[in-house]
Each structure stands twice: as structure tokens, then as C-alpha cells.
Structure 1
Amino acid sequence: MNAMKWTLAAAVLGSLGTAQAATSGEGELVAALNNTEASGIVVTPTGRTFLTLPRAGSNHAFPSVVELVHGKQVAFPDLATTTNTGKPLTDWLVSPLGLTLAGNTLWVLDEGKRPGIDGIPDGSAKLVGIDINSRKVTKTIVFHKPFMRDSLQLNDLRIDPDHGAEGTVYISNNGYSSPSDCSLIVVDLATGKMRELFHNLPQTSPAPGFMTYVEGQPHAYSLDKPTMPQGGVNGIELSPDHKKLYWTIPTNPNYYSIDTANLSDFNRPEDALIKDIHFEGQVASNGGIAVDDQGNLYFGDASRYSVISRDSAGQFHLVGRDARLIWPDGLYWQGGYLYVTVGQWQRVPGLHGGQDLRKAPYDILRFKTAKPAR
């Protein structure tokens, strides 16, 4: 499809609208996209829903960020910012993955990766802030080379408003290379100063010998012959008081946290920061993570087609189980519901001898969340 044929209102590209009721334990269908899979998701307190449609799996011509409006995908903030119209790479969203909301600003993390294009061209990887009301881009921070390597995958992000003059951004780098090239990245919003930390440490890396189930079949982590999505630190989330950052690794059962007062301090030596990392325990989590206003954490577990929560006492609870959860990817909690984008990254050609097994619809589900007793 020619991207220029899109109008601001966009075409109907899936079954969207009022969530469809489900049986107990199953999710409600929020949207079934027929064009391409979504990754990041944000739902505002007023119910506005935003999605990223990354191009890392296929270099599609659809808008890369959309808002779901009355059963339609609407390019957000506009077509010129979300499609390739010949503008400089710094001026449009090439392949955004991560998405989060801070106040009225939607923050978009652009990994800049597209198949058929060598590496990650300078200017394509960036952080972009967009006012959801005015639809204006308010800030752009580009990850230029040599800081931005072709082996980095800027995956997810969270905004800490309590540290730094304008806030601090924490980014998970999942890593593209073999062996892995994974880390956490810290960015000062006011100055654009950035710092890479915990590069290829056990606390951010795949675990040797890791095995899990994907779509009912066992898969082992393998650098030489990967059969499932692989990489390092992926899901990240802030506690409601912004004092702690959590992260998970899809190919490592351990998950960790660190105090943001230390992580945001650009003067604190990395050796000291490594000692600040806290082992939280073990959990199955193959994509993003989320938190509610009570501090309960949420994880997606593809091996059991489920989403689970961890309360403040460290106890785990089943939120829901649904056969459609073949790869729970982006998670976002809002208003008593956990929203989940269902990816098909495990079906990409690179894992199946060049055969693309992905197929529509690409579901977005939500699950009613109960507040565990405290």
C-alpha cells in the first residue's frame, strides 16, 4: 500500500472498538489488526489507545504509530511523522518499539531497524516526545553513532520525572548481535546526555542453557541456531513512586531492580551501580512488563499462554490465561485492566529457514485485574 493514500482518519484495518466479553480467565478482544503486528501500547486515563507498529519484522508502508479511534487506526501524530515521505531520518518514526506516557507526553522509542536496509542508519534511532493533545513533537533526542551501534536494539523505555531537570529516561537494549550486545541506557532529558550501563553482564544477558516453551514446543537458547526470539534485557518498569526500576530478560528467569536515585546519577561509577542491582527472584516474562497504581507488577508468560502478577509481598497471582497469548509483547495497565499486544516474533522468517509464518489477525487483548489482599 502506498503510504500517501492514507488519510488522517485512516482506513479500517481490523476489528476494533468496544472490547468483546470473554469467558472467565480469558482476555477481552480490544482490537484485531489485519495489517501488521503492534508492539508498544499506551492507554490514557481517558481511554485513548496508542500503538507502535514497528518495521523491524517487515518494512511496511503503514503508519508506525497509530491511535485507535472509533474502529480505525489513525496515524499519530500525523502521516508525515510516521511514514517515509523522503524526509531526513531524524524527522520521522522509522521503526518504533517502546511506548510510554508521562503526563500529556507520549514518548516513542525508535529502534530505527528495517529489513533490507544495512544496519541502523545514523539518525534513525531516537527518542521522540509528542503532546497527545496538540499532536506536536515536543522533543527529539537522536542516538548518533558511535554511541548507537548496529547491534543495539532499543526496546522499551520508562520516564522518571523525579530525577534530572526535565526527567530521566531508562531504556532497555535487547541487543541484535551474536553474541549478545545488551545493556541499560540512561538519558537525561534536559541535556540529552546518555550513558550505557551493565553491558553484557549476567544481570542483563541471556542465561546459558535456558529453555522454555513457545506455542507448545520446547526451545533452547542458542546463539548458533536460534529457534525462538533471543536477546537480553527487554521489559522495564518503574514503581509508582518512581524510586525503583525493574527489568526482565526473556531468555533468563532472573529479574532485577535498582534504585533510581543511584541509576540516574551520572557521576556514580558503574562499579558502584553494579553493586546496587537487586536480585528480585525468578519469573517467566517474554516481553514487556507493567505496574498498576498499587505497585503490583504484571508479566506475560508465553510458555503458559498467560499473564501473571506479583504483589508487594512477593506473591504471584494468575491474572488470565488465553490461547491467543502466543507471545504477550507490550503490556500496559490502566483503570483496572491490563492491556496486552500479542506479537508473532516467534514466527519471523529468520527463525524458520526464511519462511514467514506470521498471519493476521494480530490481537490486542485486555484482562480485568484484581487487587490482591495486602
Structure 2
Amino acid sequence: MTIQFVRRRLLASAAALAAARTMAARPVLAQPATKAVGALDLVVAARAPTTPTGLTLSKDGRMFLFMPRFDETTVFTAGELSPDGRVVPYPSEAANRPDPSRPAETLFHVPNGVFDRNNRLWLLDAGLMASSGEPAPGAAKLVCIDPATNRILRTISLQSVVTKTSSLNDLRVDVRPGREVAYVTDQGQDGEGALIAVDLASGRAVRRLAGHASTRSVPGLLKIVEGRVLLKRAADGTTSPIEGGANGIALSPDGKRLYYTPLMSRRLYAVETAALLDAGQDDAAVAATVTDLGEKGLTGGLIADSRDRLYLSLQEFNGIGRRDPDGRIELLATDPRLIWPDTFWITGDGWLYLSSAQANRRPEHNGGIDRQERPYAIFRTRIDAGPA
């Protein structure tokens, strides 16, 4: 079914934004939407067993969901979604049974996966057995799968670039003539994030910008989702703040800039990918290429289109925003059923897909009570561009 939305000025939410204070190296101008970009469609109600934070589509339209292993209720962490809403383990049920004795061969905690330009599926495995705790030795990795055969083609270990408090979160893969690289965010369980750059040809990975202001959780930041302050809420009534470092990432169309933001931050940053990948550059040299692009609201996932515009999962507004290269931001759509919009994907025929993950309704935010409502909604909207 199709739900029509009347786009409204982002300035209508100025009171909430002002309360969170406007911080910009240059003004970010809130603008009304100036061109119809299509309706927001409910594509499918996914009968996923638990919180689907990640989503991607193959060139022939197969859709895959990724469900991090937050706790023991996670039945499987990577799945394929059928048009009727069924979600089955992918690439197999056996591969989704985490085995610490076979860390390179089994999937532990997959928050996201993406297709490259050659239609190969890359999975990011954080190697966790729960939402916290040290990654299992050897379990943090990238896994490349051929969707035509459902066979695992390659596994690249990330053991050398994770720490005891790592929580790998998002992934972008850039494959073009003369380049095969990947970029990963580590949001850190303590909010101390980092970026990871991987040369896919050699398997060499480097950890970058750990401890830098652009990858760290901002203390004291207030995040309101569905009219409620987001906190960790234990069953005994105690609360603690949310911490989340480098989280969402997006790649510019030319592959020269990586956009990123901490989960608990309103600011958007960019860094030169050449510096991230250059083993001869130290972190100070990499940091010199970081640009603060100003405020963009509180978001989860990011993605760039072929016009270098960034789509923003505006979780406080249950909506989708878009940032133009000149810094202007517009609110494209909002709906109360778009609960914790998370991961985006853009198809070659100009559809923007995103998941409604309901992460704020998980037990850890609600005194041990699971308030998620199954099935999980997957939406899409027409845009006037293709993927970056």
C-alpha cells in the first residue's frame, strides 16, 4: 500500500532543533522540499526474528536483512527476505550458528552488509556474542558471498584492528578499476569510536582516528525518539546514558571522501579516503584531512546518491532527510510507523530503501520489556538519482 506524505519545512521543528542548539561551521539552511521525489511505499512487512538494523539489495532485486546478535534471542544474524515477508538464514542456517572454535567460518553479529558494483555481497561481522563484551577471537571479519551460488568467496579478518570494546557497525565497499577497498565504522561500546580502512586485494586493514573528536560519542547529548528520551533502562529502574561513536558512513560518488558521524552526535564529518588508506600516513596526517560539515540532526544510517547528496535517517523525527552538497537540508518524509529509521540502500533504478528497526523499543531501553511490534516495516521512496 502507498502512503502519501505532505512534505513540510524543517523549520516547523525549529523549537526542537534549537533546544539541541545549532552548531555549524557555516549555517545549515533548512529548506522545504522543492521537487516531488515520489511517495513513501511500504514495501514489505518483514517477519524477522529480531531487530533488523541492516538492509541491502542485489542488482536483481533480492533483499537481505541483518540482525545484530544483541542477545541470546537472536536466532540468526543474516537473512534473505522474501516478497511475502519470510526471512530465512543466509547463506545458510549452519553459517549463522556462531562457533568460537570456527570463528572465520561462522557468523556472529552482522549489523550490516552491502553489495559492490560486481554484485557481490559483503557482510560485516563484529564478532560479538551479545551487545557488549569482547569480540570473540578471530570472529571480526568481512565475508564476501556470490549471490548466484550462495557460496562464500572470501573472508578477511579484522582481528588486528578491533579492540576489547569494539562494536563494528557500518560498511561501505568501493570496487572500481584499480581500487578494491572497504570502510568500516567502530562505534565502540564505550563511545570511543574509530574508522577502519581495508585494502581488499591484500586484506590489509588499518584503524584510524581512534580518540578523535569526530569519531567519539558526545557526552550529555539528548536524543528523543517517539517522544521519549533514549536511555539504557534496567529492570530495577536504574538508567544510564547512551554512548555511540562512529556509526553511519557514506561514500562520495568519486570515492574520494568518506562521510561519517557518531551515533550520539549531531555533526557530520568527511575525511579523505586516500589518507585513510595510505599506510605511510599517521593519524595526525589523516586527521588533517577531516572536515566538519556542520549539524545534520541525530541520525543512524547515511547513504550518498550519484549527485553527492546525503540521505539522513532522522530518528527523532521518524523521518528521512536529505543534505545537499551546499549544506542545505530538507525533510523528505515522516511517518509515526517509521520507527528508528536505520539503514538505507539505493538501487540503480532510483529507489531509496530503508528499514524501520525499532531499536529504541528493545528491552535494554525499556526496563527489560520488549516493546518491538512485529513484523518490521521496510519502506522505499522514489528519488531522482542513482547510487553513488
Compute the TM-score of the two structures, normalised by the length of structure 1.
Answer: 0.84
Q: Does 1:201 align with 2:212?
A: yes
C-alpha offsets along residues 223-243 of structure 1, whole Å, 9 cap, x if unaligned? x9435x430110001111111
What is the alpha-carbon distance in structure 2 between the residues aligned to residue 36 and residue 84 of structure 1? 16
Paired residue for 1:115, among 100, 116, 130? 130
Q: 1:262 to 1:116 in 2, by over 3 A?
A: closer
Corresponding residue for residue 23 of structure 1: 4
- How high is the sequence identity, in percent, across the aligned residues? 30
- Aligned to 2:279, the other structure's residue is in SS state coil
How many residue pairs were aligned?
345
Q: Does 1:191 align with 2:205?
A: no
Structure 1 gaps of 5+ residues are 1-19
Corresponding residue for residue 11 of structure 2: none
Q: Does 1:243 align with 2:224?
A: no
Q: Does 1:54 align with 2:65?
A: no
What is the alpha-carbon distance in structure 2 between the residues aligned to residue 31 and residue 304 of structure 1? 22
Matches of residues 215-254 of structure 1 in structure 2 within 5 Å?
215-219=226-230, 225-226=239-240, 229-254=242-267
Name segments (4+ residues, structure 1) moved above 4 Å: 84-87, 219-222
- Aligned to 1:168, the other structure's residue is in SS state strand
Corresponding residue for residue 153 of structure 2: 138
Q: Is the 8 A contact 1:306 1:318 kept in 2?
A: yes
Structure 2 gaps of 5+ residues are 7-38
Following TM superposition, by how much is the alpha carbon of 1:134 offset from its aligned partner in structure 2, in angstroms?
A: 2.2
What is the alpha-carbon distance in structure 1 between the residues aligned to residue 231 and residue 350 of structure 2? 35
Following TM superposition, by how much is the alpha carbon of 1:191 offset from its aligned partner in structure 2, in angstroms?
A: 2.1
Q: Is the 8 A contact 2:231 2:365 kept in 1?
A: no
Corresponding residue for residue 213 of structure 1: 224
Paired residue for 2:187, among 174, 181, 200? 174
- Aligned to 1:90, the other structure's residue is in SS state coil
Q: 1:210 to 1:143 in 2, by over 3 A?
A: same
- Aligned to 1:304, the other structure's residue is in SS state coil
Q: 1:261 to 1:143 in 2, by over 3 A?
A: closer
Following TM superposition, by how much is the alpha carbon of 1:29 offset from its aligned partner in structure 2, in angstroms?
A: 1.6
Following TM superposition, by how much is the alpha carbon of 1:151 offset from its aligned partner in structure 2, in angstroms?
A: 0.8
What is the alpha-carbon distance in structure 1 between the residues aligned to residue 323 and residue 215 of structure 2? 20
What is the alpha-carbon distance in structure 1 between the residues aligned to residue 132 and residue 5 of structure 2? 45
Q: 1:326 to 1:83 in 2, by over 3 A?
A: same
Paired residue for 1:150, among 153, 164, 171? 164
Q: Is the 8 A contact 2:69 2:131 kept in 1?
A: no
Paired residue for 1:356, among 370, 376, 380? 370
Following TM superposition, by how much is the alpha carbon of 1:22 offset from its aligned partner in structure 2, in angstroms?
A: 1.5
RMSD (Å), alpha carbons = 2.6
Q: 1:75 to 1:288 in 2, by over 3 A?
A: same
Q: 1:259 to 1:351 in 2, by over 3 A?
A: same
Corresponding residue for residue 39 of structure 1: 53
Moved more, 24-33 or 277-286: 24-33
> Which structure would you say has the larger RCO, counting Cα contacts within 8 Å and 6 or more residues apart?
2
What is the alpha-carbon distance in structure 1 between the residues aligned to residue 137 and residue 335 of structure 2? 41
In structure 2, give the amino acid aligned to 1:127.
L
Q: Is the 8 A contact 1:211 1:221 kept in 2?
A: no
What is the alpha-carbon distance in structure 2 between the residues aligned to residue 79 and residue 123 of structure 1? 20
Following TM superposition, by how much is the alpha carbon of 1:116 offset from its aligned partner in structure 2, in angstroms?
A: 9.2
Q: 1:136 to 1:282 in 2, by over 3 A?
A: same
Compute the TM-score of the two structures, normalised by the length of structure 2.
Answer: 0.81
- Aligned to 2:159, the other structure's residue is in SS state coil
What is the alpha-carbon distance in structure 2 between the residues aligned to residue 314 and residue 352 of structure 1? 36
Q: Is the 8 A contact 1:104 1:133 kept in 2?
A: no
What is the alpha-carbon distance in structure 1 between the residues aligned to residue 259 and residue 82 of structure 2? 32
In structure 2, give the amino acid aligned to 1:68.
L
- Aligned to 1:258, the other structure's residue is in SS state strand
C-alpha offsets along residues 15-41 of structure 1, whole Å, 9 cap, x if unaligned? xxxxx2222357322222332221111
In structure 2, give the amino acid aligned to 1:97.
P
What is the alpha-carbon distance in structure 1 between the residues aligned to residue 136 and residue 219 of structure 2? 32
Following TM superposition, by how much is the alpha carbon of 1:160 offset from its aligned partner in structure 2, in angstroms?
A: 2.5
Corresponding residue for residue 323 of structure 1: 336
Corresponding residue for residue 9 of structure 1: none
Q: Is the 8 A contact 2:5 2:334 kept in 1?
A: no
- Aligned to 2:312, the other structure's residue is in SS state strand
